Chain A
Amino acid sequence: MATLSQPLPARDEPRRPNIATADIQLPAVRDYEQVDREIVGTLHPTVAWFIGLGIAVMFLLIGIAAWMYQIYSGLGVAGYNPPVMWGVYIISFVFWVGIGHAGTLISAILYLFRAGFRTTIYRCAEAMTVFAVMTAGLFPVLHLGRPWKFFWLIPYPNWRYIWPQFKSPLVWDVFAILTYLTVSSTFLYIGLIPDIAVLRDRENISPIRKRIFSVLSLGWRNTDREWRHFARAYLFLAAFSTPLVLSVHSVVSFDFAMALTPGWHTTIFPPYFVAGAIFSGIGMVFTIIIPLRKFFGLKHYVTINHLDAAAKLCLFTSLVVGCAYMTEWFVAWFSGNEFEQSFFANRIWGQWWWASAILYTCNMVLPLSLFSQRLRRNASWLFILSFTVNIGMWFERFVIVVPSLSHEFEPWQWTSYRPTWVDYAILAGSFGWFSMWFMLFIKQLPIIAIAEVKEIIRPKLRIQHAHGMTPAGEHFDFEPETPGEHD
């Protein structure tokens, strides 16, 4: 645990909302038994959950039906309007890859930085990452003219020595996405091993389930040696994943930055995309975790202090993204390049002005509200803001993809774009697909890392106190609600 540069009055500390992120504590979590009981207790299926799952599967089926229709009829049923050859699918691809960034950032980078607020939200974020990347990976396939030939993008040994074009950013994408999916799911699984062992050791568990969990927990026995190896492995994977967080979205940004198209052909894209990805990912974390902590009764695990700390990260990435937007404008003006200038003028005042307006409002203006501590600690506001962030980030990709293509070098080929119901159905299907996996996950595996929570609560003392404990070891009165939360 990191130390504070300036010691705070111990007595005030838990009440102070502007707590250093490394030192976020769980005052209402008293002992290991409570952790096991409360977190394992969330796994019991409820009617509401079944309804939620049903809705997710329904959306997925709508998406599948639309895709089948699209495969049968041809891509023409989607709203493509050449030369806008990429549309909702690529926008959604980048959107979902972006969402998939927060998880690894929170679980790996913040782990390396010893940011305490990650502990209770990282599992959720990591699962989100894996499912988001699974969702994102579908889009490059379903946007193909001939999706049944997608494997030609993969370098596999073949009799005719035909290889993919390694100069193409789309091939880099294949590698980047598959690597990221592999590493992030491995990381998620490794972190789950001690928790799976907890699930395995529950009472009243069905034999089949017990057998599955036994296999999945790799025979975890909670020995010191296992913990030592586990910690090493986890650290190693965290270090291994960290560059991927930066590289994956950089590679995705190359899809655009490597092209000649005005509005795409810019070196700022990799950092700009990474910042945007983290921004959108944290938005999605809020969208998921705020309802979950409410419905699962986990507000004393994911406290408002956690949300506050994450909101600061959100604010920071919003500022980075905003800076990138302004840099783009500046460079367009400074370059003296007519194509670029005309393109940016068109982006802001042209036919897509409304998309740009949504983008700048949602990504630059509204997050500024997080400078207010009061709003940062208002879970409802964060929830609303998370939606605007998601919408804003989807439109950011829209503004990158569509206006650029519709307003290129050749004025004769300037066009419009309008998605059809097929585009929307497949987009909805992607949310269904993502939600389905997430819904299944939250009832099978703990969304809060049991083992890690146990690490940060004080070990059970000989004298039982009915209240929480400060890091300094002083006890205070137990309060069911964390102070300072404005709901």
Chain B
Amino acid sequence: MSTEQEASPIPGTAANGVKRREFLKVLGVGTAATTMLGCASEKVEKLIPYLVSPDQTVPGVSTYYATTCRECSVACGLIAETRDGRTIKLEGNPDHPVNRGALCARGQASLQGLYNPDRYRGPMVRRNGQLQSLTWDEALQIFAQKLGETRSRGAASAVFINQHESGSFPGFLDAWLAGFGMPAHLSYDAGADHAAIAANRQSYGVAWPRLDFRAARLVVSIGADFLDGWGAMVPQQLDFADARADHERAPRLIYVGPRRSLTGLNADQWIDCRPGSEMSIVRMLGGQLTSQQASQATGVAATVLDGFAREFAATKPSMVLAGGGGADGLEVALAANALNQSQGNVGVTIKPNEGYLGFDRMASPAELRALAERMNSGGVSLLMVRGANPAFTLPKSAGFAAAMAKVPFKVSFSSYPDETSEMADLVLPDHHSLEQWGDAEPVRGTISLQQPTMDPVFDTRATSDVLIAAAKKDPGSAARYPMADYRSWLISRFPGGAAGLAAALPRGIASGSLGEPTTARPVPPVRAATPIEQSSGNMYLVVYSHPFIGDGRGANKPWLQEIPDPVTKICWQTVAEMNPVTAEKMGLANGDLVAVQTSAGSLTLPVLRYPGTQRDTVAIATGRGHTHAGRYAKAGFNPLEILPVAEDRAGGVAFVSTKASVSKAGGYAQIVTTEGSARQHGRGIGQAIAIADLRAGRPGEDPGASHVAEAPQQSGSEQGAGEPAEEMPGDAPHQFLPGLRSPVANDAQGEQGDPKSKDKGMYDPNHWSGMAKRRWAMTVDLARCTGCAACVSACYAENNIPTVGADWQTGKVLPDRTGFGANILRSREMAWIRIERYYEGGEDGGADFDARFVPMMCQHCGNAPCEPVCPVYATYHSPDGLNVQVYNRCVGTRYCSNNCPYKVRYFNWFGYGEPARPQYAFPEPLNWQLNPDVTVRGKGVMEKCTFCVQRIREAENRATAEKRVLKPDEFTTACAASCPSRAIVFGDAADENWTVTQLAKDARAYHVFEELNTFTAVVYLKKVNHPTPAAAGTA
């Protein structure tokens, strides 16, 4: 793969008769001139910005640093791939006990925080109402002076808000604050479920226990989106997928809640209770209510609840998880924990001893709201904020921003502009977590180390170092801070000192404890919500945390805006989700604008008909609609603007606390979605098999159309019953396995079909390269896949895929296709892998439907329809079974895409890689993240999944250099590496020793559109359904 950027051709190299020599002369002179000019006008930059020591850096060869992800509270381990001094890719650290090599989409997108084009370039101070740059020395001078002033006037009036993190820093910060006589800092995480944390601490004594899904037979999630953002997402996903992969002993998952979240869509059954009625369900499970009474309260049919209660009583061990952000969140969570205790689940499925420590010492939103009241009354003279953005993440009606304006001096340590830091008087931008030292103790006994992976991108400074520098300027504190910087402070505390740290750093983890106290903060008086039934409105308002953008932290990362929400498949937009039946009754089609009005305000936004919404509910995601968080963050709306202040008893924001009146506003906004049809139309793309069928060796459901096509002699009505088993794809003999090589492909791969031919070229199995002996292939286990889209983000990062949805990236040619996501309205998203989310059943808008997640990428067909139609051989078959796209040869007829049944080819409609264009997808310094092993595609060429060919070739070259053959499972693709449910496995299907070969022989294996004779290299394993036992009896 060429590393050169594919640029537009140099006019007239050959055609105009410019001689090679002349051209080189011009090039030489031009380059020299440019270089000289560049030297004169710009800061001298090192070609390779050295980080550690030059002897570790080999140009063109990656260096890997183990560090810790700080995107959420969990603190997963990272391996940062650094090339020529720039971090280009993050992988999970396989040695890390929390994430075991996996990484979620938010973690992947950490890089776009590091290279965010809107990051603060350096320190700034507000002069005449404007933030103006200044030097660090001046900034530190001002900071130290303000600290001194505050101390002299009463240091208790200073407040420090830190984005919640675990590790040594909170203790360090508190000690620093204490040195100035200031109160301990507020460690704030708006995305955390404070009610669940408080309940866990009360019931189990820990903030977040480990959830052992393998031990459970039944998992009941009451609004707890444990696969996506509720607690320790990545380890929970890993454990859940492992549990579900053991089909015989897999736990059934029942999801209770007004909106099916990602966890809800992965559930086998959805109980669509009314918002605020979760308590009735828990009490019913505990036997305090009859199913009739619970049905009254929740609006769910009594027969369904009855079956649920019976199943729960009969199934042990089980697991009950409660989240969901209701006003009675703490009570529900406590009751759920009590159920776990009474069912004997604690210690069996819920393991407090192996809990995650990242959720301790969290300040609740109620504390922040109380702080706002204090600021309003002038009780705060100095406000310091690092990372957190309470002006955005608290409901607007809490009035934080207005109160903050009254604070005389505000210091922000944020790396990025946001609503809070934009109000600051002094900005002392922090390093990104990938640029600084730190540590965390994610699970007891393991220290996860955080080290800089590269030189700082901008003129920023680690806040820890700024604090030390400020303390040194203060005569009272200087004596206590003799250390040069935070790093030396860490080393001094590290067991084993500098040598111990140096030894531990390569693995990124060390055993030991940071000795943090796991104490709960006192909860201030909360502002309890009025019962939801007493608020006015025709629908319940459910505000939920966006899977990627979360509380708004990810909003300025274009990947997270562009990758569709795994549930709704919405990107760049905030919508009001409503049940299709309700929407139909109200005369609302997708995209019709509705006004959602609560006591706190009104918001006008488009309707999305989402069948996973309870019928009386309107659901809106948080995180979008920023005013001051950078160029990408402006997309969408912020539902917190209309959420009245209400807190659960743990002090968390009650996201489900009010009704809203929803009315048609008139007008229309197109829904920015990647979804075409949400139904498979019987085409058998995402297939499933019921557990009973799998056990009995039966073929399972009829995938429908693909069969009709294969057996035209049978009329449609006779399908099904008497069908001979060998016709069924799930039970197919797989005659083209294990090599997945068709007779046709054999022919396509050269002249092997002709025994007399001497010229077999590279396709000869005996060719020295050995390429033709391999067949790269992939299995995707739909029983594991949760649809979380971590693979999509990994692919964006690995393969330099441009994001196209920003409003300035549209060729402004039609008035109805403008704004954020306009290119996506035209289906021009470039994701090489997409997650298709199909619904099965529930056509009547009922709760009884099943979601199928199908990761769809280039299938690398053995007999690829795209290949023969390309007039210029830009796509062809490599001897090792890859369907190869040659960007430089592509002229852009797009015929290959027309002929691709899987629709996995993507076209460069604009010059997304050309800096001078408005469509440029990598504004400086986002382009620093680009993988030098992968071409940035030029305008007018086709691209698609390459099976990470750069990784294949790198591994092959490494093996060749070491004079050996590839070891089985030696490397894998970016998507497979990242997958937190281990659903994707990549390897050589021509070699029995690779895992992929074994998996492809599974009885559940099938190919999508097998009847087209494409002989795909991607083998899907059917999803395994665990149907509701009661449904079998009553239905």
Q: Which residues between 823 and 864 of chain B lie within 8 Å of chain A, taking CB atoms?
A: 823, 826-828, 834, 836, 838, 854, 856
Taking a contact as CB atoms under 8 Å apart, the answer to whether B894 and A85 are in contact is yes
The answer, among B705, B898, B940, for a CB contact under 8 Å with A144, is B940
Q: What's the A-B contact tally at a CB cutoff of 8 Å?
A: 199
Q: In the complex, which residue of chain B has the Cβ closest to the Cβ of A340? A: B709
Segment of A115-123, A147-155, A218-226, A459-467 in the binding face: A147-155
Contact B716 A336 (CB under 8 A): yes
| With contact pairs A85-B898, A335-B712, A418-B814 given, residues A413 and B827 touching in the complex (Cβ less than 8 Å) | yes
B23 within 8 A of A: no
Chain B residues with CB under 8 A of A45: none
- A338 interface residue (CB < 8 Å to B): yes
A36-44, A76-84, A365-373 - interface stretch: A76-84
Q: Are A86 and B827 in contact (CB under 8 A)?
A: no
Contact A410 B870 (CB under 8 A): no
Q: How far, in angstroms, from A60 to B875 measured CA to CA in the complex? A: 35
A260 pairs with B683, CB closer than 8 A: no
Q: Given known contacts A83-B827, A168-B869, A338-B705, is B892 in contact with A412 (CB within 8 Å)?
A: no
Quick one: which of A251-298 are within 8 Å of B by CB? 255, 258-261
- CB under 8 Å from chain A, chain B span 876-930: 889-895, 897-903, 906-911, 919
* B-side interface mostly: loop
A153 / chain B contacts, CB cutoff of 8 Å: 871-872, 891
Residue of B nearest to A140 (CB): B893
Query: Does the CB pair B704–A338 fall under 8 Å?
Result: yes
Q: Is B662 an interface residue (CB 8 A)?
A: no
CB distance from B122 to the nearest CB of A (A): 36
Minimum CB distance partner of A418 in chain B: B814
> With a CB–CB cut-off of 8 A, which chain B residues contact A78?
813
* Docked-complex contact B890 and A145, CB < 8 angstroms: yes
- Asked whether B753 is an interface residue with its Cβ less than 8 Å from the other chain, the reply is no
User: Which residue from chain A places its CB closest to the CB of B876 in the assembled complex?
Assistant: A165
Chain B residues in 8 Å Cβ range of A79: 813-814, 826
Given the known interface contacts A260-B865, A338-B709, the answer about A421 and B908 at a Cβ–Cβ threshold of 8 Å is no
State in angstroms the CA–CA spacing of A335 and B854 once bound together: 29
Q: Contacts of B911 on A, CB cut-off 8 Å? A: 74
* B611-619, B673-681, B996-1004: which lies at the interface: B673-681
Q: Does B1012 make an interface contact (CB < 8 A)?
A: yes
A147 to B899: give the CA distance in the assembly, Å: 21
**Is B563 interfacial (CB-CB < 8 Å)?**
no
B813 touching A77, Cβ below 8 Å = yes
B713 to chain A, nearest CB (A): 9
Roughly how many angstroms separate A85 CA and B826 CA in the complex, as a whole number? 11
Give the nearest-CB partner of B707 in chain A. A338
A79 to B826 alpha-carbon distance, docked (Å): 8
Q: Quick one: which of A74, A140, A408, A414 contacts B940, CB cutoff 8 A?
A: A74
Closest approach, in angstroms, between the C-beta of B437 and any C-beta of chain A? 44
Contact A145 B869 (CB under 8 A): no
Q: Mark A138-178, 1 if CB is under 8 A from B, else 0.
A: 00100111111110110000000011110111110010000
Report chain B residues within 8 Å CB of A150. Answer: 891
- The residue on B at minimum CB distance from A87 is B894
| CB < 8 Å neighbour of A145 from B678, B854, B870, B940 | B940
Alpha-carbon distance A165/B942, docked complex (angstroms): 17
Q: Is the CB of A412 within 8 A of B676?
A: yes
Whether the pair A411, B680 counts as a contact (CB closer than 8 A) is yes
- Residue B989 is within 8 A (CB to CB) of chain A in the complex: no
Q: In the complex the two chains form, is A74's CB within 8 Å of B908's CB?
A: yes
A388-443: which residues lie under 8 A (CB-CB) from chain B?
405, 408-415, 418, 420-422
Chain B contacts of A338 at CB under 8 A?
681-683, 704-705, 708-709
The residue from A86, A168, A335, A415 contacting B868, defined by CB atoms under 8 A apart: A168
Given A146-B891, A162-B873, A418-B814, A339 and B705 touching (CB < 8 A)? yes
Contact of A258 among B712, B856, B869 (CB under 8 A): B869
Q: Compute how far the CA of A75 lies from the CA of B890 in the bound complex, rounded to whole angstroms.
A: 14
* Contact present for A260 and B893 (CB under 8 Å): no
Known: A82-B906, A145-B892, A422-B813. A409 touches B1009 (CB 8 A): yes
Residues of B within 8 Å of A83, CB to CB, are: 827, 897-898, 900, 903
Contact B712 A82 (CB under 8 A): no
List chain B residues, Cβ under 8 A from A152.
871-872, 889, 891
Q: Which 3 A-B pairs have the closest CB atoms?
A: A145-B892, A145-B940, A76-B909
Given contacts A83-B827, A164-B873, 4 further A-B contacts (CB under 8 A): A76-B919, A165-B869, A171-B871, A420-B814
- A-B contacts, 18 listed (Cβ < 8 Å): A76-B810, A79-B813, A83-B827, A144-B940, A145-B940, A146-B890, A153-B871, A162-B873, A165-B869, A168-B869, A171-B871, A260-B865, A338-B683, A409-B1012, A411-B680, A412-B854, A412-B856, A418-B817
